[in-house]
Structure 1
Amino acid sequence: MTATDDLPATALPPPPAAERRSPGVKLLIALLLAVMLSVPLFAVYLLVWDRQSQADTARTSIVAGWGAPQRLAGPVLVIPYQAQSTETVTENGRATTRVVTVERELTLAPDKADLTTSVDPERRRKSIYEAVIYTATASGNVSFSLPTDMARSGVEAGQLQLARAELRFGLADPRGLVGSPPAVTVAGRAAALRPGRGPAETGGAGFVSPVDASALATGTIPVSFRFAFRGNGSLALLPQAGDTRWQVTSPWLSPGFSGGFLPVARQIRGSTDAKPGFDATWRVGNLALGRALVSTGEVAGGSVDPVSRTPDAAVPAGDYEARVDLVSPVDLYSQVNRSVKYGFLFIGFTFAAFLMFDVIAGVRVAMPEYFLVGIGLVLFFVMLLAFSEVIGFAAAYLVAAGAIIGLLAAYSAAVLRSWQRGGIIAALLSGLYAVLYVLLSLEAYSLLIGSVLLFIALAGVMYVTRRLDWSGVRAA
């Protein structure tokens, strides 16, 4: 008779008296083994973290030289002016106060900005890793005018050196500027451009155009622009105008909207639609920004090297930005990482089933057999991670679950001396893997489903063992 022939529990020879253990001792052994398996489970968690770090490194190498996640700011009109300032100096041991003339800058935000950006994304792969890059085209029309209450800013209109004004555009990583040079027209005339000296919101990165803003003394100055740039992952706008309207269009199917301002209108179309992708429109006023259209400050020193600078340096937090992320629909590493956290659930349920066969049906399960089954359960998460990187999370889940269920079902049939009992273990694991997939898909209800499942399992164990003598005293 083979090890997997179905035998009634009464046909099994009882172990020698010296080898008999009480159900309570068997329970403690199973708990001890479950705790020991926390070490390989933690190792799997570290493996997921390491693979995710490698993926991040690979994505960085894929997008190197293409362009960083981009932030747009401006344009703003910066006008130098001279002001009187007092300073106290010590001469011959005596404090002397004197008046000096200093040069400062007045930054004027547009009254209104109508901006449009089209984003053309692309997936690029390196080995098994993937990154999302894009080429975008930004265009817009803005208008500048001096406020009627200039005196409130502490600057008289006569102090402004309008002929020396600068029109500053912000782009977080100017290395991403591609194609034809940016085209900027001021009051219908093409403007010459220079690198660097962008707004403070992009850490000085961007480009600048010297303009003669003398027309501000009597009216408004209209500005239009258009330029192409490259980036990866995300695109953000730091609105500054009195009324900013920003429209973004892209064929990307799974955008993520974040930042301090969300779109006032958006439309996401699926791959089967005539024009797949999304359209989103933001509308932000300077009252929401909590800032005036006019600000003053010291002259910014020097220009920013567009190559050697760190793209994200000195960029403020995203509380006052509108942002769209070109996200991947499934982050497989976060999915695998979450599944590993349920590893003890698998080990606990499976060990409980083996323990019930041991103490109720009389089928003795040795300590190494518990351990091998536990290692098989841990191996599922390693296989899930390995296959996910190649064939995707859903397909990898089916492959890994099917392999482990088949392996442990066959082994359980031999250990428990019955194909029927092995089938029960297979059914238990199939149910657990199905529930885990649901938990990973329904993140909001994972705690609720998990707690109900644990309650049912505890109730079942309590019912089956309600008359069991855990100490073995009565059996003796």
Structure 2
Amino acid sequence: MENSALKPLLSLKYSVTLKLVVIAFLGLLLLIPTAMIQSVIEERAFLNDEAIKEIGSKWAESQEIVGPILSIPIVYETEKDGKITRIIEDYHILPQDLRIEGKVLPEILKRGIFKGVVYRSDLAVTGSFMVLDDFDKKDFVGFNHGEAKVSFGVTDLRGIEDEVQFIVNGEKKQVNPGTGIFKVIPSGFSISMANHEFKAGESIPFTIHLKLKGSKNLSFIPTGKTTDVKIESPWTAPKFDGKFLPNSRNLTEEGFTAEWKVLELNRNYPQSWINNAYAENLKSASFGVDLLSPMEDYQKSTRSAKYALMTIGLTFLMFFLVEVLGKKNIHPFQYAMVGFAICLFYILLVSISEQVSFNIAYLISTIAVVGTICLYSLSLFRVKKYTLILATVLLGSFGFLFVTLQMEDYALLMGSIGLFIILAATMYITRNIDWNKMSLGKSEENPNQ
């Protein structure tokens, strides 16, 4: 009678279906600590961003180069009822050709354990203006030569490290703070062109030598009819962004070089205009380069944590197949311990990557977690062959994840192919199992039947 009463309980104990339900429930339950870990990663990333902003606020912010722009006041006079009214408008002229060449030397500054990328740059700006006369000639009296100026825009003036060498027509000019055309160039410096007799068609060459420091980004506004920019840097992790990508680039282990060429027809503003007509259009044409911080590794940590369910599911599948094929009986608590060990991989990854490079942190975390799970499985499987297979599966999973993280553009393709291979392998291994007659661990437990 007792044996008859115990048979339903024993049947449940060794039920494959029940075990699968429990394993699935555990896998979903482990999404809670995984979500908490992702929240921790996001918090650390936020703290890192704040640290980088603080570093930039003390050093110099991202820099955007605008200009130079020649501004000549035009005088108009109108007569009405015997009274003469004088109107003065700013006539802005852009360079006919603009060439910018420079070197960007990055530095790493720390704020606690967080790091930010800053740089020093040495820029040579050359080109020439051509005085145009495409403005409205009605009621035109003449130029106000005494107020003419050339303005040059720099986003954060704290980044100017040395005296600016500004040469026009072979003459070194005194550089003054402020642009005087704040709606066109909000921040920068200028030189006076007072008493220069401007003539239509006249060419005015210029040279500017500027030592400028900034953080993270260096951008340019194409003000030349033809704008050529060439940048060299030993930084190996650039990101080219903005309205225009480089016409040519070369990225090596020693750094990068990039060259841009922007024509007048590529932008949405002309070579000259009156007052502030195209001030907003200038901003929309910006292009340049970001120096990616090493702490972009937080993004990789976040992306890796999103694969937690796949890694946990694959490990649980391996344990379940050992139960089915090896006639072992593994308790759900033991599944949970293995799942928590995998979750700890992601918190280890982000914490170690704050101290060393991401790749080394990934290697250390993988060895720690895979080693722990394999040592734990030895007492569960009692067969070294199964533990070796488990180690291979885990190393393959984390290796696959690492490759996927490195290939951001092909992450979806790699992920889908990987899942397909896992499913196909599982189907092949379990193709001959009769699930209707299958029970778990009976040969080891030897229950009364």
TM-score (norm 2): 0.85
For the 8 Å contact 2:269–2:282, the answer to whether it is kept is: no
CA contact (8 A) 2:232 2:256 kept: yes
Instruction: Number of aligned residue pairs: give it.
Output: 429
Checking the alignment, whether the CA contact within 8 Å between 1:260 and 1:318 is kept in structure 2 is no
* Deviation for aligned residue 1:298: 5.8
Contact 1:237 / 1:321 at 8 angstroms: preserved in 2?
A: yes
The aligned residue for residue 265 of structure 2 is: 287
- In 1, the alpha carbon distance for the partners of 2:264 and 2:138 equals 21
Deviations 1:118-165 (A, max 9, x none): 3222222334322221122222233222225434xx677634323211
Within 5 Å, which residues of 2 pair with 1:74-473? 74-83=67-76, 101-151=86-136, 158-180=141-163, 182-197=164-179, 204-212=186-194, 214-217=196-199, 219-271=202-254, 277-297=255-275, 319-328=284-293, 331-463=296-428, 464=430, 466-469=433-436
1:411-454 per-residue CA deviation (whole Å, 9 max, x = no partner) reads 12223343433333222212211222222223344333332332
SS at match of 2:197: helix
CA drift at 1:319: 4.6
Q: CA deviation at 1:404?
A: 1.0
* Alpha-carbon separation, structure 1, partners of 2:370 and 2:18: 28
Q: 1:50 aligns with which of 33, 38, 43?
A: 43
What is the rounded CA distance, in whole Å, between the counterparts of 1:241 and 1:150 in structure 2? 19
CA contact (8 A) 1:347 1:377 kept: yes
The amino acid across from 2:147 in the alignment is R
Indicate how the Cα distance of structure 1 residues 200 and 364 shifts in structure 2: closer, same or farther if over 3 A, else same: farther
After superposition, the Cα gap between the structure-2 partners of 1:33 and 1:247, relative to the gap in structure 1 and judged at 3 Å, is same
Aligned AA (1:287): L
Deviates more, 1:156-165 or 1:239-248: 156-165
Relative distance call for 1:15 and 1:449 in structure 2 (3 A) is farther
Structure 1 alignment gaps of length 5 or more: 1-13, 87-97, 272-276, 301-313
Instruction: Specify the SS of the correspondent of 2:270.
Output: coil
- Partner of 1:215, secondary structure, is coil
Matched-pair contact (CA < 8 Å) for 1:198–1:206: no
Structure 1 stretch displaced more, 119-128 or 392-401:
119-128
Greater shift in the superposed pair: 32-41 or 260-269: 260-269
Partner of 2:28: 35
Unpaired stretches in structure 2, ≥5 consecutive residues:
1-6, 443-448
Task: Give me the identity figure in percent.
Answer: 27
Distance 2:76 2:34 in 1: 67
> In 2 relative to 1, CA 177–448 (structure 1 residues): closer, same or farther, beyond 3 Å?
closer
Q: Residues 53 and 316 (structure 1 numbering): CA distance in 2 closer, same or farther, change over 3 Å?
A: farther
Conserved? CA contact 1:172–1:202, under 8 Å: no
Cα pair distance change 1:288/1:448, threshold 3 Å: closer
Q: 1:44 to 1:361 in 2, by over 3 A?
A: same
Return the TM-score normalized by structure 1. 0.81
Q: How far 1:16 sits from its partner (Å)?
A: 5.9
RMSD value, Cα = 3.2
Q: Is the 8 A contact 2:240 2:290 kept in 1?
A: yes
